[in-house]
Amino acid sequence: MKFFKYFFVLFLSSIIFHLSSIPVYASDFKTDYQVEYNLSQSQNNLNSQVDFKIKITNLKTEVYVSKFSISFPNTFAINNLKTSDDNGYITPKIINESEKTKIELEFKNPNIGKDSVNTFFLSFDQANLFKVNGKVWEVVLPVIENTQNESYSITVNLPETTNKKISIAKPNPDVVTGNKIIWNNPKTKTIYAVFGEAQNYQAELTYHLKNNQIYSVFTEIAFPPETSNQKIFIQSIDPAPESTRLDEDGNYLGKYLLKPLETKIINYKSFIEVYAKTREDSTPYFRTEINKQKNYLLTAKKYWQINNVDLIKNLTDPKLIYDFVVGKLKYDYNKVSSNNNKRLGADIVLMHPDQAVCLEFTDLFVGIAREKGIYSREVEGYGFSLDPRLQPISLSSDVLHSWPEYFDLKTENWISVDPTWENTSGINYFNSFDLNHIAFVIHGKNPDSPLAAGMYKIENSRDILIKPVISQPLERKEIVIEGIDFATTIADNELYKGKFIIKNNGSSYLWSVPIFLKAKNIILEKDKLIIPVLAPFEKRTISFNFSSKVKNRSVDGELVIDVLNKELLKQNIKVIPAFYTLIIDIFAVIFGLSFLFLLYRAFTIKIKK
């Protein structure tokens, strides 16, 4: 009867089997794997007790399992190892190698014969598998590559005391019940999961501005915008901008005056909250704005042109385009650190697919999507992760990240995808995104403007500091009224025009801002309007028409301006009959003529003297 050694090697994102030189095939065995991660939390650390149960069924009479080994990378912090088989405890043989630690087990009395079953168990504590990243927990779990005669399940048991729920999973779990999550026979090389609905970041950005002209100029810089998955809580902008506005793509621009040859440094501080789901408050606005953007979202701009359309003729939907980009391009790590990191664009990178970094992955996706009639654009920002498998690009300097978005006509939402990170990490970034992408600018109309934070440099400097935080930022809402311009004494037979300016002095965007005009003895042509969005420091002029409600008598009127259900202005308005104004006008004319006559008389008398 033949026997063989059964080797089991665990390496980051894959589990590999090694058999002896004896010709044994996968069809000789049926293997069932059950891996369970039991999480516990101590202060800011997550510990996991990992239990392996591996059941091997012999499908032939002449073979059986004799030995087993498992190898872990040295980066795995494994403690309290316990091993056993069906007959009890097994003393492991531990071999330390250069990059891994091998654990060899020899079974006591393995069962033999066809349909016999041998089960072995491993249990250990692992401290650094699940990462605490700000407000969320993040994990990348290795997956065994299944063959025909294998079944495999992974179970994660969250602590009973936590209220965190799984928000992102690649692939999606088969079972989620309470604090238990189960994947059955996953087809991917890894499982990526995030627990928690939102991630908070502290952002400190520096912008260096310089006017090389001998005359004053205005310039605009782009602060991080709010999107359907991102909210901004501004702490300070020093110095404050002259004004702010949102451009056609939704970029948040601040305007500054630079005197001749002046150098100015802008320091920006904020909290940025990134959500796993689209925001209900902002989504209606972006669905409306797409109708204004459609005229340029299919344009083959610079970097987004495809001349060799034969290469992409079979790419008819976003998933096919994404898979093509992931498989076609190869990430060039040397290009990131090179001084010759020139942006190639979609057409050139198709001819040189091994010279790609994130911009080329993004440009190729956008270029193909627009060629196929799919609304698409580029987002440039910051990719954050504590795990090098998720973020294979060094961010020791201000190296920005970019990724594409396409507009899904079914859900009417912008969908972010990241072919770069799938290419470099093997994790699916099409079916679901993550909480590690922070948007700085959106490029839909122009592929290279506005510039993102980190690109406003005079010398080589570190201008981006992003770190996850646990604390929940507080939103400060403050609306002020400026530039009040309307009559406070009116006649009862005229229509008057008025206006005022509202300004957002708060920390965040205000969405669907309601403005109510309430009046007493005054008729308003329109007493309610909605401002779709008002960014911090942004101003909006409100015009209105009004007239008297009463006729032929003097009354006291009143106008009240209510914004966000808060009364910001109450103004008394005097209403007088029209004939009063006529009498006043007559008296004014008589008084004016009399005054002129007296001046004339005084002047002529002086001349005579």
pLDDT (average), residues 490-506: 92
Which residues are bridge partners to 530 per DSSP?
Answer: 514
Question: Rounded to whole angstroms, how far apart are CA atoms 487 and 517?
Answer: 15
Q: Give CA–CA dist 523/526, Å, rounded.
A: 9
Q: State the Cα–Cα distance between residues 145 and 186, nearest whole angstrom.
A: 9
Length of the chain in terms of residues written = 609
To the nearest whole percent, how much of the chain has pLDDT over 90?
55
Three-state DSSP state, 484 = strand
Q: Give DSSP secondary structure letters for 254-273.
A: EEEEE-TT-EEEEEEEEEEE
Question: Which is it for the CA torsion 284, 288, 293, 297, positive or negative?
Answer: positive
Kindly report the CATH class assigned to 4-196. mainly beta
Token duo for residue 368: 């193909």
pTM for this model (two decimals)? 0.84
Domain boundaries, the chain: 4-196, 209-469, 479-576, 578-609
Assign 141 to helix, strand or coil: strand
Does the structure show a pLDDT above 90 at 130?
no
Q: Is 565 helix (H, G, I), strand (E, B) or coil?
A: coil
Higher pLDDT, 41 or 530: 530
**Phi and psi dihedrals of 425, rounded to 5?**
-115, -20
Using DSSP's 3-state secondary structure scheme, residue 351 falls into: helix
pLDDT of residue 237: 97
For CA atoms 547, 549, 551, 555, the dihedral sign is: negative
Residue 393: pLDDT over 70: no
Between 337 and 422, the more confident residue is 422
Placement of tokens 């990240």 in the chain: 401
Integer CA distances (angstroms), 376 to 222, 296, 310, in order: 21, 10, 21
Residues 6+ apart with CB under 8 A from 320: 314
pLDDT tens by residue, 29-73: 788 889 999 998 877 788 899 999 988 888 888 777 777 777 777
Strand-pairing partners, residue 267, are: 206, 238
- Partner residues linked to 266 by β-bridges: 207
Pairing relationship of beta strands 166-170 and 190-195 according to DSSP bridges: antiparallel
Q: What is the distance between the alpha carbons of residues 505 and 142, in angstroms, rounded to a whole number? A: 48
Q: How are the residues of the chain apportioned to helix, strand and coil, as percentages rounded to the nearest 5?
A: 15, 45, 40
Report the C-alpha gap between 139 and 131 in whole angstroms.
6
**519 beta partners:** 559
Within 13 A of 504's CA, how many CA atoms are on the CB side? 27
Q: What percent of the chain lies above the pLDDT cut of 70?
A: 87
Residues 339/438, Cβ–Cβ less than 8 Å? no
φ, ψ of residue 323 to 5 degrees: the values are: -60, -35
List of residues 6+ apart from 284 with CB closer than 8 A:
512
User: Tell me, what amino acid is at 482?
Assistant: E
520-541 burial string, b = 16+ CB within 10 Å, else e?
eebebeeeeeebebbbbbbbee
Alpha carbon separation from 483 to 498, 542, 582 (Å, rounded): 10, 10, 30
Q: What is the pLDDT of residues 456-496, one digit of tens each?
A: 988 878 899 999 998 889 999 999 999 999 999 988 888 99
Rounded CA-CA distance 510/252 in Å is 13
Query: What's the burial of 588, exposed, middle or buried (CB within 10 Å: 0-12/13-18/19+)?
Result: exposed
71, with CB counted inside 10 A (0-12, 13-18, 19+), is: buried
| Spatial distance between the Cα atoms of 391 and 414, rounded to a whole number of angstroms | 23
Asked if pLDDT for residue 430 goes beyond 70, the answer is yes
Tell me the two tokens of residue 348: 């050139």
Q: Distances in Å between the alpha carbon of 181 and those of 165, 171, 178?
A: 10, 12, 8
- Is 115 in a helix, a strand, or coil? coil
pLDDT at 604 over 70: no
Tokens representing residue 48 in the block: 């996991």
- Quick one: CA dihedral 494, 495, 501, 504, positive or negative? positive
Does 14 score more than 70 pLDDT?
no
Structure tokens at 425: 């990490």
Residue whose pair of structure tokens reads 């621009």 in the numeric block: 253
Tell me the β-bridge partners of 576.
Answer: 491
For the beta carbon of residue 388, count every other beta carbon within 10 angstroms: 12
Half-sphere exposure at residue 265, Cβ-oriented, CA atoms within 13 angstroms: 8
- pLDDT interval class at 8 (50, 70, 90): very low
Three-state DSSP state, 219: strand
Q: Which of residues 555 and 62 earns the better pLDDT score?
A: 555
User: From CA 102, how far away is CA 82, in angstroms rounded?
Assistant: 14
Whether 375 has a pLDDT exceeding 90, the answer reads yes
Strands across the sheet containing 243-246: 217-223, 252-258, 243-246
- The mean pLDDT value of the chain amounts to 86
Quick one: fold of 479-576? Answer: Immunoglobulin-like (2.60.40)
Q: What are phi and psi of 287, to 5 degrees?
A: -70, -30
* Nearest CA among 517, 503, 534 for reference residue 573: 517
- Tell me if the bond preceding 239 is cis, omega within 30° of 0: yes
The yes-or-no verdict on residue 88 having pLDDT over 50 is yes
Cβ pair 131, 122 in contact under 8 A:
no
CB distance 49 to 38 below 8 Å: yes
Same fold, 4-196 and 479-576: yes
Distance CA 132, CA 111 (A): 43
Average of per-residue pLDDT across 301-327: 93
- Evaluate if residue 395 carries a pLDDT over 50: no
Best CA proximity match to 355, nearest among 365, 341, 372: 341
pLDDT in tens, 216-272: 999 999 999 999 999 999 999 999 999 999 999 999 999 999 999 999 999 999 999
